[in-house]
Structure 1
Amino acid sequence: MIIKKYIGKTEEAAAELARQELGRDAVIMNVKKNIPKGLAKFFRKESVEVTAAVDELVLEESAKDVPDFAKLQEAMRGDVAPAPDSKAAKAEAAKRVLAEKNQVILEEKESVREKPKEETEAQTNAIEQKLSDLQKLLEKQVQAAETAEKEKKSGKKKKISDKNKAYLRLIRSQMKNNEVDEIYIEQILEEIEDSIKNDASLDNVLSGVYQKIVLKIGRPHLIDLHAKKKKYIFFIGPTGVGKTTTIAKLASMLKLSSKAKVALVTSDTYRIAAVEQLKTYANILGVPLSVVYSAGEMTEAFEELKKYDLVLIDTAGRSHNNKEQKEDIHGLLETVPEEEREVFLVMSATTKYRDLVKISQSYSEITKYSLIFTKLDETDAVGNILNIRMLTGASLSYVSWGQNVPDDIGKVDAQKMAKQLLGGNS
């Protein structure tokens, strides 16, 4: 694993410097803003420092002057599934590359026909040597791919040193303490085993696992003011997880920070306190609130709210085991065309994992969604967030803690979460 730091005016500029040196496989592991203090702020501008990492094997492959075997290499690394007839596909790919090279060689031969005989023969021999070397290289690549495929089918794995096994046991224990499901722990560790060198240090092994977790968590999917069509934002989930407070926090953030024109709608008429709570927030923020009792009233409310940038919709907490209540939620969602709505499933980080599984799978039956987790201040373990992300494939978006509006909410920070899962400072 190669880890380097790059400094640029913006995060994008620094990340581009990293990709230029380390290649497109480089992963951004940390981002830090450098803000000059004291007198220095008059002479130096703000900058962004990114820490990027790349596997040494990937870097070495990208540095070689060889034909583009990107797809083959991806298959060898296990990044893509092999084709049904992988051997035939590889042979066909090799033939195509050879055909292209043959064409180039023929053109080179044509260009030297008019030259003196000795020079022509020397160049022809050089060209034929190139072709021979290329063919050997292709055969070697195909053979390596076939060997890797056979080993994969037979279950044969790279032998891991006792030292690395000890490191992985430590990491496995730490992730388990953070309540990451054993299935996902093994999946993550198996994916990095082949890239770990036998003489790797604990820092290198830890860095590989950290990088893999960051990739698994992914970039947060946030409410996008520029996506004009996605203006109706529904918040669904079980009762008691903090949907109403979460909506108030997001409305405050969008109105105060982004100057968005926000409107609120609530269909949670089962709890009078919920309506009053949201009405209080709406009055403080100076935004309109519509209370609806049915899908028909929801449609009428939307007609009056077309001039707003975003409409945030609170729904009643429903039992994921109640089929009729799930149908009510589905009916409300259907009042808005799919291309004009976004849905966020709000769940508490304190809920037991098996219940989170049932809740997420139940709502998956009626709609696609992104994930919001609340009450992070009430738990020390965040493994369930990674578990549900990997179980559902749904994007993580926001996390919240405490009752302060609008302060106690933020986007999911993959780097911070990965550090926490591995026992680092969060």
Structure 2
Amino acid sequence: MTYRSGRHFLQLPGPTQVPGRVFRAMNRAVIDHRGPEFGRMTLGLFEGLKWVFGDPAHVFIFPSSASGCWEAALVNTLSPGDRVLLFENGFFAAKWGSFARALGLEVEVMAGDWRRPVDPARIAARLAEDTEREIQAVLVVHNETSTGVTSDIAALRAALDAHDHPALLMVDAVSSLAAAPYRQAEWGVDVTVSGSQKGLMLPPGLGFCAVSEKALDRHRAGATSPRAASPRAYFDWTEMSRDNEGGYFPYTPPTTLLYGLEASLAMLREEGADATFARHARLAEATRRAVAGWGLRNYCQDPKAVSSAGTTVLVGEGEDAEAFRLAALDRFDMSLGTGLGPLKGKVFRIGHLGDLNELMLMGALAGVEMGLKTSGIAHEPGGLSAAADFLASA
């Protein structure tokens, strides 16, 4: 291998570029994870995470990927044999369902159009049929990273409330957290799952479960809740809750990642939530204008459901999106997201979340345009200028 000058463009919809400020925060000596300094830091992290998630009762931090917290959400609130309703409109929704089946849950799949958001009306109709209240949880993905489609979580809560259904509402917000508005308490979400490596601008390695009092009551087998009897050890909320009260963990935590989390939360506070969301929306719109300018198609077909975190681009029939993606990596040192599952070779994904500004995005879009030229993907030449015109005027 030879040296490549400049920086690698990591334009995935996660992991995202880690800011220098976060890396510098992580470059500190490890402290005693049972000592008072550590406890004070962690209690501050819990408060910061509550602000990011939108005021849940508590946020559990696990040394894991977000996928680990898919499991934590299920085993802490449900029992083997419980029925869950999964709206499957993307690769990661389907993957969460596979976890549920492996854990002994009865997964009822509501197949959706991968190019469109979750349909609250269909969920409402199914809940109306569930007169015996067999469905214990509804599982949905807020922003489906594989397709670039965002769903209306508030409307889903309204569907549950319209039928006074007691099912827990569980949401995967892995790629939407800190990239698009998310209001857990206001939207009535019981468990939100997310991870460190996307909008939070950290390396992979931290998983989060933001939980409501209803979810905690289900876990504790409260007076009005059935007992959550799934086997659990590492992901058990009981031990975590006990130790978290003082800012500690029941096992050795990833201290340096927590240093980084402290820095990333401070950065998000300094920018402000509204400004963060507006920046992501602006960069996303510029990306979509570039895609349209190239004569390519956004995989998402609902203009109201387009993602602020990433854009999934559909190439023409008979063209190979994977070959284009690999050519962009080889020629221009840029990583774009691959097509997942049945979308392999049909789409590529442009991430535009995390620590990103206009010039960084324009560099990435220039790389895409050059990659289209060198790989033979049919396109028009106007994408880059369309994005530049929008960003200059915005």
Fold conserved between structures, TM > 0.5: no
Tell me the TM-score normalised to structure 1 length.
0.29
Which of the pair has the greater relative contact order for Cα pairs under 8 Å at 6+ separation? 2
- Which has the greater radius of gyration? 1
Higher helix share: 1
